[in-house]
Amino acid sequence: MKSTNAPLWPLLLGISLLFTAAGMLHAAPSEPQWQALNHSLVSEHILPRYQSLQRSSAELATSTAALCRQPDQTHLERAQADFQQTMDAWQSVQNIQFGPITTHMRNFSMQFWPDKKNLIGKQLNQLLQQQNPDTLSVDYLYQASIGVKGLPALERLLFTGSLSDLENTSYRCQLTQTIAAYIAVNSQATLDEWTDGYADSVSNAGSEASYYDSHQEAAVDMMKALIEPLEAIRDQKILSPLGDGQVRPRRTESWRSQRSLRNIQLNVATLHHLYSGTKKSVDSLLRQQGRAAQADNISTLFNAIEQQLQAVQAPLITSLHQPETVKQLLEISAALQQLDRELSAEMITLNIQLGFNSRDGD
Structural domain includes residue 343 = yes
Residues 163 and 42 in one domain: yes
Amino acid at 291: R
Kindly state the average pLDDT of the residues 117-128: 96
Point out the domain boundary residue: 191, 212, 233: 212
CATH code for position 266: 1.20.1420.20
- Nearest residue to 250 (alpha-carbon basis) of 258, 241, 263, 259: 241
Point out the domain boundary residue: 170, 189, 212: 212
Residues 205 and 242 in one domain: no
Per the prediction, the chain carries an average pLDDT of 92
Q: Are 325 and 312 in contact (CB under 8 A)?
A: yes
CA distance 362 to 349: 29
Note the pLDDT tens digit of each residue in 208-218: 999 999 999 99
Residues 99 and 208 in one domain: yes
Q: How many domains does the chain have?
A: 2
Query: How confident is the model at residue 162, as a pLDDT?
Result: 87
Q: Residue 170: exposed, middle, or buried by beta-carbon count in 10 A (0-12, 13-18, 19+)?
A: middle
Residues 260 and 316 in one domain: yes
Structural domain includes residue 361 = no
Query: How confident is the model at residue 276, as a pLDDT?
Result: 98
| Beta strand residue intervals within the chain, DSSP E | none
Q: Residue 168: exposed, middle, or buried by beta-carbon count in 10 A (0-12, 13-18, 19+)?
A: exposed
Residues 153 and 50 in one domain: yes
Residue range of the domain that includes 206: 30-212
Kindly state the average pLDDT of the residues 30-52: 98
- Whether pLDDT at 131 is above 90: yes
CA distance 233 to 239: 9
- Whether pLDDT at 39 is above 90: yes
Structural domain includes residue 99 = yes
CA distance 276 to 287: 11
Residues 79 and 151 in one domain: yes
Query: How confident is the model at residue 349, as a pLDDT?
Result: 93
Structural domain includes residue 4 = no
Residues 165 and 102 in one domain: yes
Query: How confident is the model at residue 21, as a pLDDT?
Result: 39
Residues 47 and 165 in one domain: yes
Residues 160 and 295 in one domain: no
CA distance 362 to 357: 10
Q: What is the CA radius of gyration of the chain?
A: 25
| Beta strand residue intervals within 136-290, DSSP E | none
3-state secondary structure 43-107: HHHHHHHHHHHHHHHHHHHHHHHHHHHCCCHHHHHHHHHHHHHHHHHHHCCCCCCCHHHHHHHHH
Residues 45 and 185 in one domain: yes
Residues 154 and 189 in one domain: yes
Kindly state the DSSP code that residue 133 receives in the 8-state scheme: G
Kindly state the average pLDDT of the residues 289-302: 98
Note the pLDDT tens digit of each residue in 138-195: 999 999 999 999 999 999 999 998 899 888 779 999 999 999 999 999 999 999 999 9
Query: How confident is the model at residue 357, as a pLDDT?
Result: 62
pTM of the model: 0.91
Amino acid at 172: R
Note the pLDDT tens digit of each residue in 255-288: 999 999 999 999 999 999 999 999 999 999 999 9
Residues 232 and 207 in one domain: no
CA 102, chain centre distance (Å): 13
CA distance 69 to 16: 78
Structural domain includes residue 360 = no
Pick the residue with more confidence: 233 or 16? Answer: 233
